[in-house]
Structure formats: structure tokens, C-alpha cells
Structure 1
């Protein structure tokens, strides 16, 4: 069975959803026979390369909230991440264009190190004091994931490298009806939208394992889309 996961490194629900999916996969009896492929989806594709902004500032502007309200929104997501044992900084993080990260992830896929690089990039972006929008940080992460430093630098220097692969993933997501991420497609039979609880992923894997039905959406959880991440209505006194 193949599971394809459309995600963006800037998406907190993708970070959380990856952990929950892996927990659900671990509880699936045939987990060792599941191939996981990560695919590209940009939340902010029109943002210029190098144009970064603090996450809190970006959230306040996007949702028309105060800085205090935007901080509370981040705390809501952080509480979900921490419940999964994930580190999450609510301050000091940047938001920017993720196209180069996706291109590097396709290099990692070609070298059999995609999941390793994605995990490191998520941790750097959400839990550590490292900006994934800094090319030198990306090179460091690539090396930590087991990639060749010179090859990683060459990909980042050549804006056409793996660009078509990123765009192909994004077109395919649109064809499948994905408007937000994370979006999980199980053996091209079922879709699971959002960072669902682990047991939902286990159930979906079990159902897809023995069923040949057309693609159906089994869950509709919290996602991030081009207009932002789904968040609760936050009162000013939170």
C-alpha cells in the first residue's frame, strides 16, 4: 500500500498530522508493507523568495487580529503539538516562501532520505531556533539528513532543479480536490484531510487495505490552506 501525504513545512497541522499518522501507522497490522511518499503543497506560493516575516505578525495581519489574539492562536496549535510530544515555539519563528525546501525534499526523495529531511525541517521550523528560510540552514539540515552537501548546494543554486516535480505535485493535489494540508491519500482509494487523531489513520489504513472503492474522504480535520490555517475564534481576553 502507498500513502501519499501532501504537506508544507510552514503548516503546523502538517507537523502535528505527521506525528499522528505515524502513531496510527504503528498500530496498523500491515504497517511494514506501507510505502509513505511526501508530496509538495505551498501555502504561500506567491510570496517572494527571501520575503520573510515573524509568524505572529503574519497571523495578526492575515486574520485581522491583535498581536495578543494571534499569540493565543499559536498557543492553541502549540498545545496540540505538545500533546503529541512535539516541541513548538510560539515566538521567534519566521514565515516565508517554501519552494526551495520542497525542491530539496525532492532531492532527498531521489536519494532515499525524504522522511529524514522532512522531520528535521519540521523540528527546525517549529521547535528550534533555526530558520528554514535561510539557505545555509537548509544545507545544514540536508547534511544532517544524510545528503551530500555539494549536491544540496547545487540544487538550491539552480532554481530549475526539481521545480517541475514540485509543480507536478501541486497540480495533482488540485486534481484530487485538496484545498488544504495535510492531505493523505491511501492507495488512491481514500483521502484523509487534516491532522486527524491517530486512531482515524489506523481505521483508514485498515479500510483501504481491503477495499477497492474510489477515492473517498474519510475525515475532515484542521488544515492549512492558501488563506491560512484553521483556528478557533479567539476572544481578546484569552
Structure 2
């Protein structure tokens, strides 16, 4: 039997480092019974519904160039497809959709989780667009009414997002991805080796606790 491993991750589907970080974290499933609490944080809630150009959040062109080169190298190292970003989407609808999909079970949720990342970073689709998201729901074989439940009045969903914000404040993090391995907090995209080390430290500590 694989040892259980519970990890919390703060993320946003518009974050390319979360795209890479999610793929790396899920590789820990080869050694652990991995259970992830995906805690959604809207990184740029001020983004207009139609999205905006990558430079608008405050990056100079030379900074964007360096970031894009770093991202390309990271994605290539993990064999992840990555297209040039033309727009930064508003991810509020995508995040609420993913949170609602958790109620469908582990496998349906992960179909959507992976597809949202792939749609944006590999296919260049606008995951801020409701029509695109409904098409993704259909492709993932999820209930047709899931978007309506996610985007309509939903106090339970609102409460879960409020808990994520409180959790992030308590953990002292304002950036994504952030990984919480018990008392250990890792900020930013991490190497696979670092993730394995954090997992080993956590599971060893749990095994030796009285």
C-alpha cells in the first residue's frame, strides 16, 4: 500500500507556473496515495471579463520575455505543451466551475482540472469565456447544468471560497502556486525532487508521531 499524502495547493488556472506545478505534483501519485486540496485563489480578480493582454498586469516587455523563456524551458523539461499567451483570462467562472466539479467525484473533477489547464496553455482557448467553459464541461462528460450551479446563487460554494481566502491569509501566502505539506510551505513552482522531499518529510513525521 502507498502511504497517504495530503497536500493543499493554492492555485489559479491562469497561472502558467500552476500548470507546470500541478503536473509535477500529480506525479507523486506513483509513490503516494495522494489527496490534494486544490484551494482556488483568483490571482487577478481585477481582470476584465473579456481578459487582457499579458503586459497589462504591470510587467515590462523585457520582464515578460524573461518569464516566457523560463516558462518555455520548464514546460519543455516536463514535456508539457505551451503556447504563447495572447490574453490573460478572468478566471472567476473557471474556478467556480472546478470547485463545483469536486462534488462529482475524484475522476470527473480531475478530467476538468487537467482540461482547463490544457485548454488555456496548450490550445490557447479563452477559459474566461462561458461558451468555451460549457464546451469543456461537455467534453469532460460532466452534467450540463454544472455551469449554472457553479455560476448562479450558491452560498455553499461562496463559503468554500471564503475559507480558501482565510486559509491563504493564515498561511501568509499571496502568490500561486503555494504548496502546504503539513507545517512546510513551498511557494512558487518547485522541482519534482523538492516535492518528493517535502512528501517524504511529511509522511516520515506522520509515521513517527506518537
Structure 1 alignment gaps of length 5 or more: 213-238
What's the counterpart of residue 95 of structure 1?
Answer: 88
Q: Which of these residues, 79, 100, 103, is aligned with residue 110 of structure 1?
A: 103
Q: Which is richer in helix? A: 2
Deviation at 1:72, TM superposition (A): 4.6
Classify the secondary structure of the residue corresponding to 2:180: strand
Q: Compared with structure 1, are the counterparts of its residues 27 and 198 closer, same or farther at alpha carbon in structure 2 (3 Å cutoff)? A: farther
Deviation at 1:10, TM superposition (A): 1.0
Asked whether 1:139 is paired with 2:138, we answer: no
Contact 2:92–2:128 (Cα < 8 Å) also in 1: no
Contact 2:85–2:121 (Cα < 8 Å) also in 1: no
Contact 1:38–1:114 (Cα < 8 Å) also in 2: no
Any idea what the Cα deviations from partners look like across 1:113-140, whole Å, max 9, x if unmatched? 3322121111111110311011011112
Contact 1:155–1:161 (Cα < 8 Å) also in 2: no
What's the counterpart of residue 208 of structure 1?
Answer: 202
CA-based RMSD of the aligned residues comes to 2.3
What's the counterpart of residue 155 of structure 1?
Answer: 150
Contact 1:103–1:161 (Cα < 8 Å) also in 2: no
Deviation at 1:76, TM superposition (A): 2.4
Structure 2 alignment gaps of length 5 or more: none
Q: Which of these residues, 3, 6, 13, is aligned with residue 10 of structure 2?
A: 6
Deviation at 1:170, TM superposition (A): 1.8
Alignment map for 1:65-76 (pairs within 5 Å): 65-66=60-61, 70-76=64-70
Distance, in Å, in 1 between the alignment partners of 2:89 and 2:143 is 25
Classify the secondary structure of the residue corresponding to 1:207: helix
TM-score normalised to structure 2 length: 0.85
What stretches of structure 1 move > 3 A for 4+ residues in a row? Answer: 157-161
TM-score normalised to structure 1 length: 0.76
